[in-house]
Amino acid sequence: MKNFTSELSVGAYLKAGANKTVRTLSQLKDLYSNREEVNRILENEDPVLYEVFEMPPSPKETDLLVNITVLHAGVVGEEPFMTKGHFHQDPDTGEVVIGLKGSGILLLQNRKGEIQEFPVEEGKVSYAAGGWGHRVINTGKEDLHFLAISGANMIHDYETAVKLNFKSLPVENKERISANE
Amino acid sequence: MKNFTSELSVGAYLKAGANKTVRTLSQLKDLYSNREEVNRILENEDPVLYEVFEMPPSPKETDLLVNITVLHAGVVGEEPFMTKGHFHQDPDTGEVVIGLKGSGILLLQNRKGEIQEFPVEEGKVSYAAGGWGHRVINTGKEDLHFLAISGANMIHDYETAVKLNFKSLPVENKERISANE
């Protein structure tokens, strides 16, 4: 990757040369527990859940990944749109999440199943240390924009997330969210 | 390091448990070309040039460093206050700089002596790829606050910066800055 500078917005990031990757429901349908609802939605459309804006070219091991993600607002059944969620492996490095717009949560879960959650909103930074799987969930009613920074030397480990039944959202949380609406 | 969340301000960072490291002129006097002026200032006081706020405990190799720096406004002769500036070595990893408050520049220089400069101000992110030494310079009239993120596995190489005569500020830049004042 090359040196770059950009305003912290999707438009500016695209102008600075970022590539866009789109994630749709059909690619991520296993994230959601309500299979019937997933199938019902997919009969009509394949909605975009989120888009990731990333600087080319392919990063070297020594680079940091510096991506803007736009996670759209919406639900599948009772579960809000969320990112795939992953652990890092070999090395199991940290990840930084900085909210830019909208509101959501960064849900962390370690391999013992312990859970932490942090706010994702403008002006807040959160850090997921190595060993903590992480997923962002849009709990608001508008698009959630956030910056994520991680070492490019890490490998996404999605399998552990699946094995652990990496949580979409703890139950107590659902209550808190509806209380805020 | 542990998981953490914080607002992007010094006060919130301290509340979240950050440690403060202070850098004074006497520690960094070799950065400035006007030795007479350095000595004149140090006869009267040893001003704080910048403070770094960093989360404890000591980071592991797999952590990311996520620091807030407050670089004060001021000059030594004609040179504005600046951070020490460093290359990374082994591995020569990237670094991300996000402006929070005030205005300055991120000055990049590679081992061939090529120079790039990027703005450091609220809402802007810049990336220094591996192989580029980097220094932040406060070109404004108020404190410059910025967030810096790098791999904790890297070793600061200050010696190469000294050998290369890592620039305090290119001459053409001084003109641009006074034009903006």
Q: What is the pLDDT of residue B112?
A: 86
Query: Quick count: other Cβ atoms within 10 Å of Cβ A171?
Result: 7
Q: What is the pLDDT of residue A87?
A: 73
Global pTM exceeds 0.90: no
Q: What is the pLDDT of residue B110?
A: 87
What does DSSP assign to residue A122?
A: B
Q: Do B149 and A91 touch (CB under 8 A)?
A: no
Q: Do B60 and A130 touch (CB under 8 A)?
A: yes
Backbone φ and ψ for B128, nearest 5 degrees, come out as -105, 110
Give chain A's domains with CATH numbers: 10-180 (2.60.120.10)
Chain A residues lying within 8 Å of B93, measured CB to CB: 62-64, 151
The label of the residue with tokens 């070999």 reads A90
Better pLDDT: A1 or A70:
A70
Q: Do B5 and A124 touch (CB under 8 A)?
A: yes
Q: Do B127 and A55 touch (CB under 8 A)?
A: yes
Q: Do B62 and A93 touch (CB under 8 A)?
A: yes
Option in A6, A124, A147 nearest B7 (CB): A124
Chain B residues lying within 8 Å of A125, measured CB to CB: 5-8, 66, 147
Q: DSSP letters of B91-132?
A: S---EEEEEEESEEEEEEEETT--EEEEEEEBTEEEEE-TTE
What is the average pLDDT across A49-69? 91
Chain B CA closest to residue A64: B94
Percent of the residues in chain A that have a pLDDT greater than 70, as a whole number: 82
B143 Cβ contact list (under 8 Å, min separation 6): B70, B71, B72, B73, B101, B102
pLDDT per residue as tens digits for the range A97-146: 999 999 999 999 888 889 999 999 999 999 999 888 899 999 999 999 99
Alpha carbons B22 and B80: distance in angstroms, whole number: 17
Q: What is the pLDDT of residue A57?
A: 83
Among the ranges given (A18-32, A153-167, B31-45), the one the predictor scored with the smallest mean pLDDT: A153-167
Chain B residues lying within 8 Å of A126, measured CB to CB: 3-6
Q: Specify whether the CB–CB gap between B62 and B91 falls below 8 A.
A: no
What is the average pLDDT across A67-89? 91
pLDDT per residue as tens digits for the range B133-173: 899 999 999 999 999 999 876 566 667 666 666 665 544 44
Alpha carbons A48 and A34: distance in angstroms, whole number: 18
Percent of the residues in chain B that have a pLDDT greater than 70, as a whole number: 82
Q: What is the pLDDT of residue B174?
A: 44
pLDDT per residue as tens digits for the range B24-72: 999 999 999 999 999 999 999 999 999 999 998 888 888 899 999 999 9
Q: Is the pLDDT of residue A61 over 90?
A: no
Q: Do A66 and B96 touch (CB under 8 A)?
A: yes
Interface predicted TM-score (ipTM)? 0.86
